[in-house]
Structure 1
Amino acid sequence: FGAPQDPPAGGFGAPPPPPPGPPQQQPDYGYPQPPTQPGYGFPQGQPPQPPTQPGYGFPQGQPPTQPGYGFPQQGQQQPYGYPTAPMQPAHQPPQQGGSGKKFSTQAQIIVAAVVAVALIVGGGIWYASSGGDGKKDEAGSSAGTSGENKGGKGGEGGKGGSTGGKEKAPANVDSTVGFQLPPPKVTDTTTVDGSWITDKAYVKTGVTEIVGYDLDKGTKLWSIPLDGQVCAASRHMSKDYRTAILFEEAKPTKAKPYQQCNKVGGLDLATGKLLWSKSVTASTSGDRPVRFDEVTLSGTTVAAGGTGGGAAFKLDTGAELWKPKVSTDNCYDAGYGGGEALAVVRKCGSYDDPQLTIQALNPTTGAPISSYKMPAGVDYASIVSTKPLVVAADVGETAGDGSSISDFFSIDEATGKLKIRISADAEKYAARCGSTEVEQCQHLAVGNNRIYLPTEEHEGTGESFSRTNEIVSFDLTTGKQTGDRADAGEKFTMFPLRMDGKNIIAYREPPYDKGGEIVSIDGSTFEQTVLMRNPSDKAVRDAESSFTADYSEFLYEQGRFFISKTMISAPRKSSLDDKEYLVVSFRTS
């Protein structure tokens, strides 16, 4: 494990015969199972149960099965990306979805035709379907950006980064495969959450180790052995490449296959060293170490939270800044959000009737700077961003799609006052947050005083069975949908990865016969610039498509793109003898 894996038979890049049609999608290897540790909200001390149900994160343990989920409802939904009325203030209940009646086939064809040819004026922005000249928009560009962007002088690629982004289009955006790594051998569903990029290494969590790989070759540079399995990792990293993880107190044994996740560790990813590791106890836990569910980083503060409360440590030394506090009203720090600032979801009351409060914290002392009490009907909340402070929640469990998002709350971190509550109809928008985790939101980005969301995929305007979507945004002060709209292009779907200055870096998921793409979306004009286009050879496509978007990590930086799994399972027998990967990488230089 760790050495680059040989390419599949035929080799990456070997042209295969053209497929007869879209293949049936096979379930992804390591299809998500419930983690061995329960999320916050579970009673402390309850023994974790072995995973038994597939589809963790979906209602009743199953993924949604309805075809065309999220397609506009008859008489209810406006076209995707169309400006909507101002969102609701905090005291109003969220709007409900459509009637559930689908368009007839004839109506769908008529609507598609109208959308394809009509220019709709909304919010002062002209909307038109991309590729209005009848040609297929292969790059999913908007605002007239050329679909065949190759970058370099004279091409549309030269426009990238005009609003302060660091990522620039290379002279040739066509990528090659960097390396691919096989998954570690496990006997049960196992978390391998966490990946980072330094100036010299791509770093990925293993089962009981953290491994640094050469950025281009994938050869192992160093390994940090751990006492037990990794159970969580910070998505943030300091400027000098330091971060934090959670891991179990011991390796699983036959007698005790599920160990407690109670060790916090600081990592130096520049040198490949474990800086420190420790457990903490609290008066409520006796002499037993506190179990944690999540860990994050803000500045030089490592903060870990869970059903036993929250604790914080200095990143460099591991010195305790605070530990779980005794509370007469049964309150505890369920989890923290890090990054530019530090915020916490503090949970009070009973398990059946919780009261959640969002607090901006002093990262050195843990003292609250401000507090906002979430409305009734919110059992769990996720911190999307700490500066600006944005929180997501499923109010009254109305989302109904497993996304854990019905509304976003834009909060003034200095005063704790609610700026605006934004209703995000789960049938329209495709961002996701962990059902019980505080800092596990994905497929969205916050910047420019806006939140950027992908729409649910829907039928395209081209050939039959074509699917596509868009990225749109909401103003975090007014709650109104802005005129921003980036089209994924026919047969592609897209979602944000992160901000790059004022620009948005997004991944365009490919159809069955093409490779994926990384694009930079100008934060001012919303023009798209292709930064990377992956190979369309079948072997490469199969490797790229073997990763499920909701259960993978996507990192792009300076012409390198890494896709990695966050959960792996025991090998499964497949009649297709599919190759399985922990990591697949691409690069343009």
Structure 2
Amino acid sequence: MTQPPPPPPNQPPEPQGGFGAPTPPQQPPGYGYPQQPPQQQPEPGYGYPAPPLGAPPGSQGPGGQPDAGYGYPQQPPMAPQQPAQSPYGYPTPQQQQQPVQPPYGYPAPQQQPYGGYPQTAPVPAVAPGGKKLSAQLQIVIAAVVAVVLIIGAGIWYANSEGGGGKDDEAKGSAGTSQGTGEQTGGSGGSNGLGGDGKEKAPANVQSKEAFRVELPKVPDTTDVSGSWLTDKALVKTGVNSIVAYDLDKGTVLWTLPLTGQVCGASRHMTADHKVPVLFEAAKRVAPRYYQSCTEVGMVDLTTGKLLWSTSVTGGSAGDQKARFSEVTLSGQTVAAGGTDGGAAFDAANGNPRWKPQPNDQDCYDLGYGGGAGLVAVRKCGPFDTQYVLIQNLNPTTGAPLSQYKMPTGVKYASIISSKPLVVAANVGDAADDGSGISDFFSLDEKTGKLKAKITADPDQYAGRCRSTKVEACSQVLVGNGRLYVSTEEHEGSTGEFGDETNEIVAFDLATGRMAPEKADAGDQYTLLPLRMDGGDLIAYKVPPYDKGGRLVSVNGGTMKETLLMENSPEKSSRERERSFSVNGSEYHYGDGRFFVSRTYVSKPREGASAADREYLVVSHNVKG
């Protein structure tokens, strides 16, 4: 936190040499302290679709997403250096050889030395009495030895599948994780996970297009991120406004005009459908087409009213309004963060709970992860040697309850889930595919200790996080004490061109081990996890060129799929569905209705044909 009280006095000291031990808040060493700078590599983009040419200055983050607080330059404060440390707190690569990751996220067998099987003993050529054995007798002995070894290997393999010993539990799956050996639940099948989702298959799963929403006319690229599904409406950000659409007809139920463009929207809303947003204090005008993101407000998605709005000063903004880049909600606390620092507000009335404040460590809250808990991603130190802290907060006071220092080489971190606490990061720019994820960290939110580290090979896993955002990850979910991640596309069963497919795989958050069950997309489809539904997953199957998409419910334990919806294969319908890019769209499914909407709109292309027509929202419905 930038301004709340220091961590509790009973914060446990950092164990010497411990793996992933919590780091209590402390004063960093002074300037000049010896430091080995991390290897400098160019930071990858996200892999999101790039914005069209002519995007506003500062808004052209990787993949067309606005980084650095929607256009203002990042000017992180300066702070004393930190001493160098070995990443993760375990031996360096010279001391510990890391095994190879299994392909496409499939579990690797626990290994003994030299491949994991008992070594074949040589057959003696000489009998104990010194007499040479005949060739026939040697063959007989070799056959007996082989049978014994096969039986022994089978017994070993059966035992290893049952969980193995403590050493196996501590190491996790070969090449994929480091864990404490702590166990939770089972691994699918009869483990009691899943099966309690509210979404059930309707009598008719064939859907039709219910409605389409036209793209708003804009003079330049405009971020329209933010959409919510309630029991009454699909609510979507527009241009200087927020609009609610009837679930079945698409007619406008209400429009909320704002002073400027929405520049941040919470993924979380209250039980009675209230949600915090960020917006600009004035409308964008040419030629710069940019305004600072300074206003925080609470919107009632049922009535369409702005319940309150406010702004704060402080932090690196000084006497000016603090600029924010994202906002979230946890209980009765609204929290907003950015390079000017973090602030929090009472969700009921907007009264500040804390504001950005300067501190002697030059730290600031980049952003927050909300939901069941409130977690801050905090950056400290000079710009070229900054380090990142993960702090679990008291949402009312902002006091840190626990914290974990991310490994050296982490520039940003994203919160997948606040409770259980799961963090994603690109350690040392190891993920060069633009995903922003090289590893997932499962943390104990009470103590700050690392429970498991799951390596996410970018060639195998398709989870994505926008590195400069704290709560902007996709294709990854947390539930049932598991981390669910979609794999990258790979060749399907036929091996023909265009036959790519993928899976959703699961990892145990206590051990880091991969579960044996997986959900298959099927040939030519790509499976995207959208949200948890109780202990089940709601997932979207991105269709091939000649079919409609599908919505499925995936049992969180067995990973078996139930078809909820199949969209129309009619040419114009499927082309509109496929016009939404996976990494530039928002998806919602509920009660037989499916909505896909854009996160960016651009100036209309000159000479575009009717076939190239795009929409802000397209809805499919099995009820029509």
TM over 0.5: yes
Aligned-partner Cα distance in 2 for 1:222–1:299: 26
Whichever residue aligns with residue 512 of structure 2, its letter is G
Give secondary structure in 2 for the equivalent of 1:540.
helix
Aligned-partner Cα distance in 1 for 2:110–2:356: 40
Aligned-partner Cα distance in 1 for 2:496–2:544: 13
Structure 1 residues 242, 575: closer, same or farther in 2, change over 3 A? Answer: closer
Give secondary structure in 1 for the equivalent of 2:574.
helix
Contact 2:425–2:467 under 8 Å retained in 1: no
Aligned-partner Cα distance in 2 for 1:554–1:336: 22
Q: How many residues align?
A: 470
Partner of 1:478: 511
Q: After the TM superposition, which residues 512-523 of structure 1 pair with which residues of structure 2 at under 5 Å, given as runs?
A: 512-523=545-556
Contact 1:39–1:437 under 8 Å retained in 2: no
Aligned-partner Cα distance in 2 for 1:432–1:498: 15
Q: Tell me the CA shift for residue 45 of structure 1.
A: 9.4
Query: Does residue 563 in structure 1 map to residue 596 in structure 2?
Result: yes
Partner of 1:355: 387
Partner of 1:82: 106
Aligned-partner Cα distance in 2 for 1:386–1:235: 13
Higher CA-based Rg: 2
Structure 1 residues 29, 582: closer, same or farther in 2, change over 3 A? Answer: farther
Aligned-partner Cα distance in 1 for 2:329–2:110: 34
Partner of 2:246: 214
Q: Tell me the CA shift for residue 351 of structure 1.
A: 1.3
Aligned-partner Cα distance in 1 for 2:587–2:278: 21
Aligned-partner Cα distance in 2 for 1:79–1:310: 40
Structure 1 residues 407, 530: closer, same or farther in 2, change over 3 A? Answer: same
Aligned-partner Cα distance in 2 for 1:346–1:86: 37
Query: Does residue 488 in structure 1 map to residue 521 in structure 2?
Result: yes
Query: Does residue 380 in structure 1 map to residue 412 in structure 2?
Result: yes
Give secondary structure in 1 for the equivalent of 2:464.
coil
Partner of 2:31: none
Contact 1:422–1:479 under 8 Å retained in 2: yes
Partner of 1:427: 459
Give secondary structure in 1 for the equivalent of 2:576.
helix
Q: Tell me the CA shift for residue 80 of structure 1.
A: 2.7
Q: Identify unmatched segments of 5+ residues in structure 2.
A: 1-48, 78-98, 112-156, 164-187
Contact 1:343–1:358 under 8 Å retained in 2: yes
Give secondary structure in 2 for the equivalent of 1:542.
helix
Q: Tell me the CA shift for residue 232 of structure 1.
A: 1.0
Contact 2:294–2:323 under 8 Å retained in 1: yes
Task: Name which of structure 1's ranges 238-247 and 276-285 shifts more when overlaid on structure 2.
Answer: 276-285
Contact 1:29–1:572 under 8 Å retained in 2: no
Q: Tell me the CA shift for residue 416 of structure 1.
A: 0.5
Q: Tell me the CA shift for residue 37 of structure 1.
A: 5.4
Q: Tell me the CA shift for residue 36 of structure 1.
A: 5.4
Aligned-partner Cα distance in 2 for 1:528–1:574: 43
Q: After the TM superposition, which residues 404-443 of structure 1 pair with which residues of structure 2 at under 5 Å, given as runs?
A: 404-443=436-475
Partner of 1:273: 305
Q: Tell me the CA shift for residue 576 of structure 1.
A: 4.5
Deviations 1:255-312 (A, max 9, x none): 6521111011110001110011111001542321000011001111110000000001
Whichever residue aligns with residue 588 of structure 1, its letter is V
Q: Tell me the CA shift for residue 248 of structure 1.
A: 1.0
Contact 1:246–1:262 under 8 Å retained in 2: yes
Aligned-partner Cα distance in 1 for 2:511–2:408: 23
Q: Give the one of 544, 557, 581 matched to 2:577.
A: 544
Structure 1 residues 402, 81: closer, same or farther in 2, change over 3 A? Answer: closer
Q: Give the one of 457, 461, 477 matched to 2:489.
A: 457
Deviations 1:187-241 (A, max 9, x none): 2111101101111111000020000111110000101100011111001111000
Q: Tell me the CA shift for residue 515 of structure 1.
A: 0.4
Query: Does residue 553 in structure 1 map to residue 586 in structure 2?
Result: yes
Partner of 2:619: 585
Q: TM-score, normalised by structure 2?
A: 0.72
Aligned-partner Cα distance in 1 for 2:247–2:50: 26
Contact 1:313–1:319 under 8 Å retained in 2: yes
Identity in percent: 56
Aligned-partner Cα distance in 2 for 1:462–1:219: 44
Whichever residue aligns with residue 562 of structure 2, its letter is T
Deviations 1:79-116 (A, max 9, x none): 434203689xxxxxxxxxxxxxxxxxxxxxxxxxxxxx
Whichever residue aligns with residue 491 of structure 2, its letter is E
Q: Give the one of 327, 344, 356 matched to 2:376.
A: 344
Task: Name which of structure 1's ranges 381-390 and 279-288 shifts more when overlaid on structure 2.
Answer: 279-288
Structure 1 residues 370, 29: closer, same or farther in 2, change over 3 A? Answer: closer
Deviations 1:53-75 (A, max 9, x none): xxxxxxxxxxxxxxxxxxxxxx9
Structure 1 residues 375, 28: closer, same or farther in 2, change over 3 A? Answer: closer
Structure with the largest fraction of helix: 2
Aligned-partner Cα distance in 1 for 2:298–2:337: 15
Query: Does residue 38 in structure 1 map to residue 74 in structure 2?
Result: no
Whichever residue aligns with residue 238 of structure 1, its letter is T
Aligned-partner Cα distance in 2 for 1:291–1:86: 50
Question: Where has structure 1 moved over 4 Å in runs of 4 or more?
Answer: 27-33, 39-42, 120-125
Contact 1:29–1:568 under 8 Å retained in 2: no
Q: Tell me the CA shift for residue 39 of structure 1.
A: 4.5
Aligned-partner Cα distance in 2 for 1:200–1:172: 22
Contact 1:304–1:312 under 8 Å retained in 2: yes
Deviations 1:145-187 (A, max 9, x none): xxxxxxxxxxxxxxxx972111100001111111111111112
Aligned-partner Cα distance in 2 for 1:568–1:187: 10
Q: Give the one of 356, 367, 374 matched to 1:324.
A: 356
Contact 1:86–1:481 under 8 Å retained in 2: no
Whichever residue aligns with residue 560 of structure 1, its letter is R
Contact 2:220–2:289 under 8 Å retained in 1: no
Q: Tell me the CA shift for residue 484 of structure 1.
A: 1.9
Structure 1 residues 478, 45: closer, same or farther in 2, change over 3 A? Answer: closer
Aligned-partner Cα distance in 2 for 1:175–1:555: 15
Deviations 1:304-349 (A, max 9, x none): 0000000011112111111112211110110000011110101100
Q: TM-score, normalised by structure 1?
A: 0.76
Aligned-partner Cα distance in 1 for 2:459–2:66: 30
Structure 1 residues 383, 220: closer, same or farther in 2, change over 3 A? Answer: same
Q: Tell me the CA shift for residue 526 of structure 1.
A: 1.4
Structure 1 residues 481, 204: closer, same or farther in 2, change over 3 A? Answer: same
Structure 1 residues 45, 278: closer, same or farther in 2, change over 3 A? Answer: farther
Partner of 1:396: 428
Q: Identify unmatched segments of 5+ residues in structure 1.
A: 1-26, 47-74, 88-119, 126-142, 145-160
